[in-house]
Amino acid sequence: MSDVLRAPREEDARAIAGLLSKDSPEPIDAEAVLLSWTSPGVQLQHDARADEHSYARVESLGQKRVWISLGGHPSVELFDWVEARAREKGSRLLSGAWASNATLIRELERRDFRLVRTSNRMTIELHEPRPDPVWPQGVEVRIFEPGDERVFYELHQETFRDSWEPIEESYDEWAHWHLQPRAFVPDLWFLGVAGAEPVGFAICHSHPVDAELGWVRILGVRREWRRRGLGRGLLLHAFAEFRRRGMKRAALGVDAESLTGANRLYEQAGMYVAARFAIYEKVVA
């Protein structure tokens, strides 16, 4: 890429992956960038810009919310462009940076973005076996079976309504991210059922760049089944499967002030905070 600000092209994906990986606890690759560019509703020519040292993209989250993704060390020109484009799409501008990226955080604050939330990257070493899961009475856990796609989708949408700033995804959007080959590992998709009723789930896979890292992408439990040990059981079950496959560590992302107490659950299971992502917001007229 040159130092001229322009819409990114497919051949830029590897360089942009490098920009987005700076300060991140886990790197991403070009395939992950291309996946984000082909998500339903994305208009790359209108919603993204890049130059040699930085990258920015805006994405509507619904309810006048707009997410600003930033990579590298954005120039004043790029910041001006992305904020102006975000204002065209909504009035609540959200962005963020890993806590170690002091330069980017200072620039967000200089532009009157305020800190509203923190997301924790949590991890655990898998050298030693963890306790066996104990399931609530009447609950059995099985792996994904053909035809379960909608079951996992609906459980995800339902259980995450209790999260901070929930995002309603269409099935097509959800499928784009979760049914693509690197995320869709049926033997690592776990479904808790009570009789014929789905009550909880975990979607897991190995990290696309680090094969020794097991990734707990999503874990959710229906309201009436919470605080019975199902979430802990699904987590420990995932750890055991990761370890059986030779993975050395497991990780996930969680709201530091989770409304359902998920962060405390993960701490009690032995996970610890490895990195923090600061989320900022600016409300505009």
Mean pLDDT of the chain: 96
d(CA 123, CA 128): 14
Tokens of 254: 């969680």
pLDDT in tens, 164-203: 999 999 999 999 999 999 999 999 999 999 999 999 999 9
Q: What is the pLDDT of residue 235?
A: 98
Task: Give the other-Cβ count within 10 Å of 186's Cβ.
Answer: 10
**3 or 259, greater pLDDT:** 259
Closest C-alpha to 112, from 131, 93, 99, 97: 93
- Burial of residue 131 (CB within 10 Å: 0-12, 13-18, 19+) is exposed
pLDDT in tens, 30-74: 999 999 999 999 999 999 999 999 999 999 999 999 999 999 999
Domain range annotation of the chain = 10-112, 123-277
CB 129 within 8 A of CB 250: no
pLDDT at 3 over 80: no
- The CATH H-level (homologous superfamily) assignment of domain 10-112 is Gcn5-related N-acetyltransferase (GNAT) (3.40.630.30)
Half-sphere exposure of 61 (CA within 13 A, CB side): 17
Q: What is the pLDDT of residue 117?
A: 98
pLDDT in tens, 230-242: 999 999 999 999 9
d(CA 143, CA 159): 19
Task: Give the other-Cβ count within 10 Å of 138's Cβ.
Answer: 11
pTM of the model: 0.95
pLDDT in tens, 87-96: 999 999 999 9
Q: Lay out the sheet containing 249-255: strands in order across.
A: 48-50, 54-62, 65-72, 92-98, 272-283, 114-125, 249-255, 213-221, 197-206, 189-194, 139-143
pLDDT in tens, 76-85: 999 999 999 9
Sign of CA dihedral 123, 125, 129, 131: negative
pLDDT in tens, 207-256: 999 999 999 999 999 999 999 999 999 999 999 999 999 999 999 999 99
**71 membership: H or E segment, kind and range:** strand 65-72
Domain covering 123-277 assigned CATH 1.10.569.10 in the classification: no
Mean pLDDT, residues 88-117 = 97
Q: What is the pLDDT of residue 2?
A: 62
pLDDT at 1 over 80: no
Asked if the domains at 10-112 and 123-277 fall in one CATH topology, the answer is yes
